[in-house]
């Protein structure tokens, strides 16, 4: 499932992140790339200074933890440390697939879902679209600052060359409690219907049955 999630970060949070990043150092993004990705990766990533990283992670994670769309679509179990990436004119990231296993500084985990959180307004830079190959063709994504997109980590994707301005994003990779992507999508859609029924018809037997079915499907499919 490829899903855009608007308004993950608000204006105050974006301003705070921007102020922190403007004072921070960036390093060659190839330092965190695998063998295949390093051949096509041309960007910069925030140098990992613990105090800075912890502050930025706290801002982003506090919003994600309250975002119902993110939680309902992802069923997050484990998440990699956030990476903050910067693309200046001439930089790009060619076609690649994200590593299936991550966790270099702690327990290993499987990557089911990738997330790109945009930190610059789209009109402030040219190019820099996230291009994801799907069974329906290429999907080009360039969202407002504070918006995020999630997509299967198994997808072949690339970042188009930035030709003007500066593209800045936060990146995350997540292991879901629901490993199967088709099951995750079904639960996401069922949960939307469930929420509507529980709000509109709280005392109706059909609402109770859908609520029960949703809970028991999660119980059946969850990997904990």
pLDDT tens digits, one per residue of 82-135: 999 999 999 999 999 999 999 877 789 999 999 999 999 999 999 999 999 999
- Take residue 19 and report the two structure tokens written for it: 């102020």
**In which band, very low, low, confident or very high, does the pLDDT at 151 lie, cut at 50, 70 and 90?**
very high
Q: Which residue did the predictor score with more confidence, 161 or 81?
A: 161
Best CATH choice for the domain 3-176 from the list 3.40.50.11750, 3.40.50.300, 2.60.120.620, 1.10.238.10: 2.60.120.620
* Residue 182, φ and ψ in degrees, nearest 5: -65, -40
**What is the predicted pLDDT for the residue at 103?**
82
Q: What is the longest distance spanned by two Cα atoms in the chain?
A: 59
**In which band, very low, low, confident or very high, does the pLDDT at 37 lie, cut at 50, 70 and 90?**
confident
**How big is the CA angle at 91 (ends 86 and 97), to the nearest 5 degrees?**
80
Give the pLDDT mean for 153-157.
97
Among candidate residues 6, 13, 18, 141, the one with its CA nearest the CA of residue 86:
18
**What is the predicted pLDDT for the residue at 31?**
80
**What is the predicted pLDDT for the residue at 68?**
97
**In which band, very low, low, confident or very high, does the pLDDT at 20 lie, cut at 50, 70 and 90?**
very high
Give the pLDDT mean for 188-217.
98
**In which band, very low, low, confident or very high, does the pLDDT at 180 lie, cut at 50, 70 and 90?**
very high
Give the pLDDT mean for 25-33.
87
Q: Mean pLDDT for the chain?
A: 95
């Amino acid at each position: 499932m490829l899903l855009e999630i608007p308004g993950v970060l608000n204006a105050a949070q974006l301003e705070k992140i921007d102020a922190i990043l403007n004072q921070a150092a960036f390093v060659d993004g190839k330092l965190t790339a695998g063998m295949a990705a390093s051949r096509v990766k041309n960007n910069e990533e925030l140098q990992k200074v613990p105090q800075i990283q912890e502050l930025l992670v706290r801002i982003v994670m506090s919003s994600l933890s309250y975002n119902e769309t993110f939680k309902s679509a992802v069923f997050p179990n484990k998440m990699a440390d956030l990476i903050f990436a910067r693309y200046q004119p001439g930089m790009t990231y060619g076609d690649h697939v994200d590593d299936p296993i991550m966790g270099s500084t702690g327990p290993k985990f499987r990557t089911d879902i990738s997330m790109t959180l945009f930190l610059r307004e789209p009109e402030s830079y040219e190019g820099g679209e996230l291009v994801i190959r799907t069974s329906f063709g290429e999907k080009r994504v360039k969202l407002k600052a504070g918006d995020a997109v999630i997509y299967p980590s198994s997808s072949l994707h690339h970042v188009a060359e930035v030709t003007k301005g500066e593209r800045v994003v936060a990146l995350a990779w997540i292991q879901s409690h629901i490993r199967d992507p088709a099951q995750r999508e079904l639960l996401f859609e069922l949960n939307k219907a469930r929420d509507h029924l529980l709000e509109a018809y709280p005392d109706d037997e059909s609402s109770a049955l859908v609520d029960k079915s949703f809970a028991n499907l999660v119980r059946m499919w969850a990997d904990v």
